[in-house]
Amino acid sequence: MTSMEDPSLERHFKGHRETVTSVDFNPNMKQLVSGGMDSCVMVWNFKPQMRAYRFVGHKDAVMSVAFSPSGHLIASASRDKTVRLWLPSVKGESTVCKAHTGTVRSVDFSNDGQTLCTASDDKTIKVRIE
């Protein structure tokens, strides 16, 4: 059996005020998105001189985040029973989708970016075609 080495730490990102619950890479590998118990979505730029974006809009913890395959959209799922679609820019504009009656635990895009899937404490999985 060969021993595996721990991966080397390249960067660390600090800015959430509470537990971080979810993270995803932008497919272009220039950004990272995270969600947390502080109700915020944060977009981190890999270029050290660029500041992180803090997106505020959810009224409760963010449980899951995902970049679309194109990297031009972020979806976030929250304990506030909503899903938000964000543009990953400094303005942090979002559209809210109210489709569940319970906490939304997970969100993901299809490989072509045309479909969004969500899973909730209301015991349902919902699929939206964009």
Q: What separation in angstroms does the CA of 37 have from each of 34, 59, 61, 64, 129?
A: 11, 10, 4, 10, 28
Instruction: Give the separation between CA 107 and CA 103, rounded to whole angstroms.
Output: 12
| Percentage above 70 pLDDT, the chain | 92
| Percentage above 90 pLDDT, the chain | 75
Sequence-ordered strand ranges (E) for 11-100: 20-25, 31-36, 40-45, 53-56, 62-67, 74-78, 83-86, 94-97
Question: pLDDT at residue 1 above 90?
Answer: no
Beta bridge partners of 112: none
CA nearest to 100, candidates 69, 116, 122 = 122
Predicted confidence (pLDDT) per residue in 22-70, tens digit: 999 999 999 999 999 999 999 999 887 788 899 999 999 999 999 999 9
Domains by residue range for the chain, with CATH: 20-129 (2.130.10.10)
